[in-house]
Amino acid sequence: MNRDAPDRLARLFRRTFGRAPSRIGALGADGSRRRYYRMADGGRTVVGATNADRRENAAFLSLSRHFRRHGLPVPEIYAEDLEQGVYLQQDLGDETLYARVAAKRAEDGAFPDQTVAMYRQVLDDLPRFQVTAAADLDFSICYPRSRFDAQSIRWDLNYFKYHFLKLVPIDFDEQALENDFERFTAFLLEADTRYFLYRDFQSRNIMLHEGRPHYIDYQGGRQGALQYDVASLLQDARAEIPWETRDELLEHYVEAAGAYTPLLQDTFLAHYWGYALVRLMQALGAYGYRGLYEGKSHFLTSISHGVCNLEGLLARAGLPVDLPELNRAWSRIVDDPGLRRMGEVSGEGLTVHLWSFSYHLGLPRDPSGNGGGFVFDCRIVKNPGRIPEYADLTGKDAPVAAFLDELEEAQSFLRDAKTMVGRAVEHHLRRGFTDLTVAFGCTGGQHRSVYFAERLAAHLKERPGLTVRLRHREQEDS
């Protein structure tokens, strides 16, 4: 694992296809340790993946081949090298189901019949993963656990407790809450758990390729209940599926799954609402950890979406199990006006002025005139410009970006910058401020500063209510 990721992938590509790739470009990271690269050679493109976690890689590769043997639309695996932590898979393009839904919403503000039809097709595919492919699946290959068992559920519940309830904060009796967690876990495991549980079955993990949905990111799959995955898809707060449409799609799924395995509808639905709630609690824990603890401000908007989703679930759930302290916590979340407005944009919005520059030529001018913001000195990070093959490139070029993507000191620097800027962005939005300047400086204004400015710009553009203006001063024409 001593060579950098693009080099390891290029060697595997050459061994597989007989020639080196002509282009390697880093794709957006998904928040995990996995990194993806689009690799091209003439008319062929593939996606290369790197991940130091051998067991996770082995699970993904084994599941991919198993699903393809069952005719399921998942990426084909072209080659792998588990010792080097790399593999090559089919390029399914860039459009996710979530992106299609968001584009339609931006276009006309609706959830049109065409989108509903795509969800129906996805829900027709789901039982094939859960039932058909599970029939001869060796669950011992699954990672990190072979079953979504009591311990898995308690991990999710404690994630919610420690990274959401205690950070918000919401008052609760900890022992009473633990007692409810025990009862809730026992209730969930009364469901039939013989099936394949995809674990992260949501619209961002569904690619639209060649006219039909394809499925990715099932490496965390394991044995479990049918209800979890359909709840993950339909109760995804950011997708904002209208409630009446969710109800219609749930009925469609029950009918589709019933063709593969006997279902008692009332029993199925009772457990469905329970799994929908535990999935949402896990998501709120993730939003709290990313937004409230790590200071990634765009996750704060997800909290407000999650609170609205919780309100809708509680109005429908009617769980046949007594959870008094958990119900009190849920009610306090829904009734908290601050949580419902979390991440809300004030006034005219905020413009973030992002610069890269060379210290030799001085600091860039603050265009807003308010003197506020950050200057980050990138010279503490290893300089790729001292490597001959990168000397004439910039931080926007894929080889330089890939080098810094794999450099832990660079990623630590970037995480710290994102956290500090994220907190300032949230403060400025709440106070109605209009401008924030962030500058990255290095020796020549060509490699490190350009890379960090580009990465921060991409990160901030995901945040609603921001205008990002990016300038690379030393790259501009004089």
Q: Say which CATH number the domain at 309 has.
A: 3.90.1200.10
Q: Is 319 left (phi over 0), alpha (psi -120 to 50) or beta?
A: beta
Give residue-wise pLDDT tens across range 138-151. 999 999 999 999 99
Give residue-wise pLDDT tens across range 311-333. 999 999 888 999 999 999 999 99
Cα(299)–Cα(342) distance, integer angstroms: 9
CA angle 72, 76, 77 (to 5 degrees): 135
Q: Are residues 156 and 304 in the same domain?
A: yes
Closest CA to 402 of 3, 6, 30, 10: 6
Q: Which of 60, 90, 120 is the last residue of a domain?
A: 90
Determine the structural domain holding residue 408 and report its residue range. 350-475
In the prediction, which pLDDT does 346 show?
46
Question: Is the pLDDT confidence value at 368 over 60?
Answer: no
Cα(86)–Cα(120) distance, integer angstroms: 34
Q: Are residues 111 and 224 in the same domain?
A: yes
Q: Give the CATH number of the domain where residue 71 resides.
A: 3.30.200.20
**pTM for the whole thing?**
0.73
In the prediction, which pLDDT does 1 show?
40
> Is residue 408 in some structural domain?
yes
> Is residue 29 in some structural domain?
yes
Q: State the DSSP string of 57-117.
A: HHHHHHHHHHHHHTT---PPEEEEETTTTEEEEE---S-BHHHHHHHHHHHHSS--HHHHH
Least confident range from 109-113, 373-377, 386-390: namely 109-113
Q: Are residues 208 and 311 in the same domain?
A: yes
Q: Are residues 172 and 320 in the same domain?
A: yes
State how far the alpha carbon of 291 is from the alpha carbons of 159, 238, 342, in Å.
14, 15, 10
Q: Are residues 219 and 163 in the same domain?
A: yes
In the prediction, which pLDDT does 31 show?
53
In the prediction, which pLDDT does 102 show?
87
User: With the CA atoms of 307, 310, 315 and 316 taken in that order, what torsion angle do they form, in degrees rounded to the nearest 10?
Assistant: 150
Better-predicted residue by pLDDT, 76 or 167: 76
Note the residue count of the chain. 478
Helices (H), 398-445: 398-405, 408-431
Give residue-wise pLDDT tens across range 443-477. 999 999 999 999 999 999 878 778 898 999 898 74
Over pLDDT 90: what percentage of the chain?
74
In the prediction, which pLDDT does 404 show?
96
Burial class (CB in 10 A: 0-12, 13-18, 19+), 473: buried
In the prediction, which pLDDT does 32 show?
64
In the prediction, which pLDDT does 2 show?
40
> Is residue 77 in some structural domain?
yes
pLDDT mean across residues, the chain:
91
For tokens 């799924």, the residue is 253
Q: Which of 90, 122, 145 is the last residue of a domain?
A: 90
- Is residue 347 within 8 Å of residue 428, measured between CB atoms? no
Give residue-wise pLDDT tens across range 90-125. 999 999 999 999 888 878 778 889 999 999 999 999
> Is residue 456 in some structural domain?
yes
Q: Are residues 261 and 374 in the same domain?
A: no
> Is residue 345 in some structural domain?
no
Question: Is the pLDDT confidence value at 30 over 70?
Answer: no
Q: Are residues 146 and 225 in the same domain?
A: yes
Q: Are residues 361 and 216 in the same domain?
A: no
Q: Going by DSSP bridges, is the β-strand pair 435-442/350-358 parallel, antiparallel, or unpaired? A: parallel
Average pLDDT over residues 425-453: 90
Question: Is the pLDDT confidence value at 386 over 70?
Answer: yes
Residues 6+ apart with CB under 8 A from 136: none
Cα(308)–Cα(313) distance, integer angstroms: 9
In the prediction, which pLDDT does 354 show?
94
Amino acid 207 reads: M
Average pLDDT over residues 276-288: 95
Give residue-wise pLDDT tens across range 183-242. 999 999 999 999 999 999 999 999 999 999 999 999 999 999 999 999 999 999 888 899
Give residue-wise pLDDT tens across range 33-78. 789 999 999 889 999 999 999 999 999 999 999 999 999 999 999 9
CA angle 64, 65, 71 (to 5 degrees): 90
Question: Is the pLDDT confidence value at 24 over 70?
Answer: yes
In the prediction, which pLDDT does 79 show?
98
In the prediction, which pLDDT does 366 show?
64
> Is residue 264 in some structural domain?
yes
In the prediction, which pLDDT does 478 show?
38
Q: Which of 43, 63, 90 is the last residue of a domain?
A: 90
Tokens read off for 54:
């051998």
In the prediction, which pLDDT does 449 show?
97
Average pLDDT over residues 349-360: 90
Q: Are residues 310 and 445 in the same domain?
A: no
Closest CA to 250 of 436, 70, 123: 123
Average pLDDT over residues 404-419: 95
In the prediction, which pLDDT does 454 show?
96
Question: Is the pLDDT confidence value at 85 over 90?
Answer: yes
Over pLDDT 70: what percentage of the chain?
95
Q: Are residues 150 and 286 in the same domain?
A: yes
Average pLDDT over residues 419-435: 85
Average pLDDT over residues 410-426: 94
Q: Are residues 282 and 387 in the same domain?
A: no
The domain total for the chain is: 3
Q: Is 343 left (phi over 0), alpha (psi -120 to 50) or beta?
A: left
Q: How confident is the model at residue 428 (pLDDT cuts 50, 70, 90)?
A: confident
Q: Are residues 217 and 332 in the same domain?
A: yes
> Is residue 140 in some structural domain?
yes
